[in-house]
Amino acid sequence: MKKYFLLLISCFILSATLFAQSLELTGQNIAEEASFAQPFEVRFELSYPPDTQVILDKNSLPTDFALAKENAEIPTPGTITYDLTFLPFTLGPSTFTAVNFFLQNKQGETIGQTVSQAVAVEVQPVQFFKDKEMRDIRPPYIPGSWLLLILGIVLLALLIAMIIYLAHRRKQHIQKTSQEQDNRPADVIALSKLNLLLQSGLWEKAQYKLFYIELGEILREYFWRRFRLDVSADTSTELLRRTRSVPELAPLYAQLRDYLKSSDLVKFAKYIPDADTMQKDVNIVQKTIQQTAPVPLAATETKEAK
């Protein structure tokens, strides 16, 4: 009889020891209704043995509820309370899945575990009007799709491009109108401007790029006045191609090509020309003007009379 009594006491002590080392969920508070994207409060209460710590397994948290805030408090030794704030992001029926809690010793080893109970939660849309008689009289807002957004951006870009194009054309028209007001012959105007360019001091101030830009504008303006050939917006390649269609300019194709090649190097490749190169290019422009200048009417009549 004494043996049985000692065995019973041993079992009782062993059970008490095992119970003292266990982690127990003593309470949980999870509502069965929640509002979409609104704070949803959850509480877990646990008891644990001394010289241990309770760890919340965040990997076990429900995926339909985003954790926004976490607060753990120890109201009394051996008890801990987790107050968690979630934001539900799934409308309709959902499940707040079971959450795991681990028990660890001082060495960080897991020596126990407990799991909460899963709860079905109905996530409702947010109610902005509590008065049932209040109604929103605005039409429903339908957000535009990405296609409409892209289309709007494209239309805006086209509008800006059209404004820039019209402004450029207007500037060209004003320039042509101002050029046509000078009644002097085209070659006289071009040679006069060429002389002013040589006296402007741009070359002496090492303004090579600006010098060649002005030189090109003189030639392009001359082509417009003399042949009504609008090359103001042409590239060098386009300008050369169009000169082939003008009988007076076709024989000068090779020297115009040399000049335009040199000009492009200075304007776009930051090439620094020497004085001989500059003089050669100026001579090409000057000879082009002189060789294609209109023959005076008196000289034509004298030639025909002979």
pLDDT, tens digit (0-9, with 9 covering 90-100), for 261-292: 999 999 998 899 999 999 999 999 999 999 99
Q: For residue 115, what are the β-bridge partners?
A: 100
Q: What is the CA radius of gyration of the chain?
A: 46
3-class secondary-structure state, position 30: strand
In contact, 32 and 117? CB cutoff 8 Å? no
Q: CATH for 20-124, among 2.60.120.570, 3.40.50.720, 3.20.80.10, 3.20.20.80?
A: 2.60.120.570
- Burial tier of 156 (Cβ tally within 10 Å: 0-12, 13-18, 19+): exposed
Q: Which residue has the higher pLDDT, 22 or 30?
A: 30
Beta bridge partners of 83: 43, 71
Q: How far is CA 241 from the centre of its chain?
A: 40
Q: Which amino acid is at 199?
A: Q
pLDDT at 221 over 90: yes
Any idea what DSSP says for residue 133?
Answer: T
Lowest mean pLDDT among 15-24, 74-83, 152-161, 270-279: 15-24
Q: Comparing 23-27, 97-101, 146-150, which segment has the lowest mean pLDDT?
A: 146-150
Q: Give me the mean pLDDT over the 131-147 stretch.
A: 61
Helix (H, G, I), strand (E, B) or coil at 83: strand
Mean pLDDT (the chain, rounded): 84
CA angle 103, 116, 30 (to 5 degrees): 130
Q: Which residues of 208-243 are buried (b: 16+ CB within 10 A; e: fewer)?
A: bbebbebbbebbbbbbbbbbebebbeeebeebbebb
> What span, in angstroms and rounded, lies between the C-alpha atoms of 161 and 154?
10
Q: What is the pTM of this model?
A: 0.42
Residue 202 in this model has a pLDDT that exceeds 90: yes
Reply yes or no on whether the pLDDT at 86 is more than 80.
yes
Per-residue pLDDT at 143? 58
Residue 35, pLDDT above cutoff 60? yes
Q: Give me the residue label for tokens 């490749």.
A: 269
Asked if 252 and 289 touch (Cβ cutoff 8 Å), the reply is: no
The residues pairing with 304 across neighbouring beta strands, listed in sequence order, are none
Q: Which residue has the higher pLDDT, 10 or 169?
A: 169
Given a contact cutoff of 8 angstroms between Cβ atoms, the answer to whether 193 and 186 are in contact is no
